[in-house]
Structure 1
């Protein structure tokens, strides 16, 4: 980029026209940049410096396969989950013949960004501030850096800059109505082998109202480190106090705290992801975090891929309607799962009485099998109708209170 010196600030102006500028270097943005660069497009991946998103770090087998994630990036492999009810009842859900990969987002995200660079994308550091357009309609992306401001021109822009997306708020109607849960976690040093109650191959999920009135709290092992966190959409809920209480209750208050992080996480996909002209959203900016579970990495990367394919079609044809296919394809693939998970969260997470029954349902082998099949493969399992029928009647019995929780 060329540099122009002024008395108070440095302005970085790139006179090239990129095929695409991707704003945000998380899993969605990095995936979109990689895919477009592999297609031969000129891409700039613009990301903030030092950004790490609070996240449990779980990646399912389908993500590992589809996006070719090397085994060394997984700092742990979870082979079971344990659900803890308000009454402290524990229900173990083993993963038969498989595992869920656990990654450190600081390392994982940077590897994804480097993969984009190896594919041919250029990397830039800066915070997006706005988009203007010249007489030819080419977008100029404005950003700021620690030492000044900069601009870069692009035929298309992918906004992958998080739940409170500045790209979305400027360019996509209705994006300001995105509802969010605020998540907070503390990365701590994992306790040594044999520590009471801690299992480095198990994810613990706490469905307890005092830890989260509308979501859940978690303890997810990452090898040498562990993520302890919670989330809530209730304004004023004391997230740090909740995590402190969880650490104290599990004996993890005495281990070293490495870092603390917090960020908003969207509750449901936006109704529109593009501006009908030259901008499309991906990842948290589009609202693609699964309700009930809060899982976002797979859906971010899938959304980033759909966004890249939509931009590729737009660049090849000049038809801005192609940008809308990113959302259409995502919702066709995952919309039904999101709807069901949203219903689950709204019903089962409402109070501790329902949370107790929800954890009770998780004892059922049919529920466990279908839950893991759906999670690992990211689709609803239709191959076992008899099991679905059994689960329906068991759920109905729990809802009517004719079985003990």
Structure 2
């Protein structure tokens, strides 16, 4: 290897996390290689909050829809509509959106290559050697290797970089997700439970569709994502999506593509190898429990990984890499912890799912949920609302109220602050 083969950073994976890290480092003048496997589209609802749009400079042209409400559907088919007061949730289609992020990285100066990471070894001086198989030679055993002063593993929930380099990564628990992208039907607002409203996301908390997570219908403008997730092995995701499409009449829509992938449930306890490798995005496990929200947290994780690598390159101190996880958990760890508890409790049975959806009818919960989701911070402006929610939650958990009572008792505001996405 020669110095010309050495990159300041090799980013493995070109999703939101990897592309953001590559963009930020390239803008700092670093020599960056963005290595991505072509043709891989993650199954994703596609929701991004205004905070992500503002913080990561996402142009309006990338939004295929703007959602103004969500509908939560209980096992009994009773439902709650949650309108967004004075805001919206942006929707993206991951195929063109991820490519736009990669092109932005290239425009900032990162070098793009199509290929699949195979292994990491060491050159004679200890520098990391990243081996990959170019897309054009996928049918031949011809690997290429480049030197990297630092490596960012952003190659998904089953990250090959993480499995090889990070202790404990092989045990990362995950939800299996599957969705079908269909051509959107004409709007049928006001037609009942299963009407189609292009500015509304529908979330189904029904054990028949998902025994431990949820199913969804998310409009993407000209297309719509219909999907489901579960951690239960042996449960047929395809059958669940088929059933949801039949019940909603979306089985009559043209199917454009089908996608499936694992979604991690918890952040890994360690994101770096203490030397020159750090993880970001799904590879680090940063998908919010209960809600399944991942795009915003991937963008944040990619930025923090880029900052950690930059600090490593400037100081030569490997401990800088640990700051990516430390900073992320300081900002978002509490929310992840609360949502993890929420998922384990409320998604356990249809009886609890029924009660959970009834909680969403509460105005205090709706306001605090949307405010916290859109702005990604705790809502402290209405302490009285938090107090009311606390006592409603206690009443609900003690069984002194029943689901669907008018202004139903509510769960802890922090356990219901993020809508599914």
TM range (shorter): over 0.9
Given that residues 15 and 152 in structure 1 are in contact (C-alpha distance below 8 angstroms), is that contact kept between their aligned partners in structure 2? no
Maintained 8 Å contact 2:68/2:89: yes
**Equivalent residue for 1:98, pick from 87, 92, 96:** 87
Aligned to 1:183: 177
Q: How far 1:150 sits from its partner (Å)?
A: 1.2
Partner of 2:18: 29
Q: Does 1:139 align with 2:128?
A: yes
| DSSP-derived class of the 1:292 partner | coil
Higher strand share: 1
Distance in 1 (CA, whole Å) between partners of 2:3 and 2:43 is 33
After TM superposition, the score normalised by the length of structure 2 is 0.92
In structure 1, runs of 5+ residues without a counterpart are 3-12
Tell me which residue corresponds to 2:400: 402
Give the corresponding residue for 1:301. Answer: 299
TM-score using structure 1 length: 0.96
CA shift at 1:59, angstroms?
A: 0.4
Equivalent-residue separation in structure 2 for 1:229 and 1:219 (angstroms): 7
Q: Do residues 154 (structure 1) and 148 (structure 2) align?
A: yes
Deviations 1:85-144 (A, max 9, x none): 001011000000110000000010000000000000000010000111112111110011
CA apart distance, 1:383? 2.4
Aligned partner of 1:51 among 37, 40, 49: 40
Given the alignment, which residue of 283, 286, 304 partners 2:284? 286
- RMSD of aligned residue pairs (Cα, Å): 1.2
Cα displacement (A) at 1:14 = 9.2
User: For 2:266, which of 268, 282, 285 is the aligned residue?
Assistant: 268
- Structure 2 unaligned segments of length 5 or more: list them: 404-421
Does 1:236 find its partner at 2:221?
no
The question of whether the paired residues in 2 share the 8 Å contact of 1:183 and 1:263 is answered with yes
- 4+ residue stretches of structure 1 with deviation over 2 A? 193-196
Any conservation in 2 of the 1:19–1:42 contact (CA below 8 Å)?
yes
- Residues 1-25 of structure 1, C-alpha deviations (whole Å, 9 max, x = no match): x9xxxxxxxxxx9952100000000
Any idea what the Cα deviations from partners look like across 1:27-76, whole Å, max 9, x if unmatched? 00000000000011000000001110000000000000000000011000
Distance 1:210 1:149, change over 3 A: same
What does 1:340-355 align with in structure 2 at a 5 Å threshold? 340-355=338-353
Asked whether the equivalents of residues 15 and 153 of structure 1 are also in contact (C-alpha less than 8 Å), the reply is no
Identify the residue that residue 8 of structure 1 maps to in structure 2. Answer: none
User: Displacement, 1:396?
Assistant: 1.4
Contact 2:186 2:196 (C-alpha < 8 Å) held by counterparts: no
Q: Distance in 2 between matches of 1:287 and 1:155?
A: 24
Query: Following the alignment from structure 1 to structure 2, what is the Cα–Cα distance between the partners of residues 166 and 382?
Result: 41
More off after superposition, 379-388 vs 208-217: 379-388
Count of matched residue pairs = 394
The aligned residue for residue 253 of structure 1 is 251
Structure 2 residue aligned with 1:123: 112
Q: Report the 3-state secondary structure (helix = DSSP H, G, I; strand = E; otherwise coil) of the residue aligned with 1:126.
A: strand
Separation in 2 of the partners of 1:191 and 1:128? 40
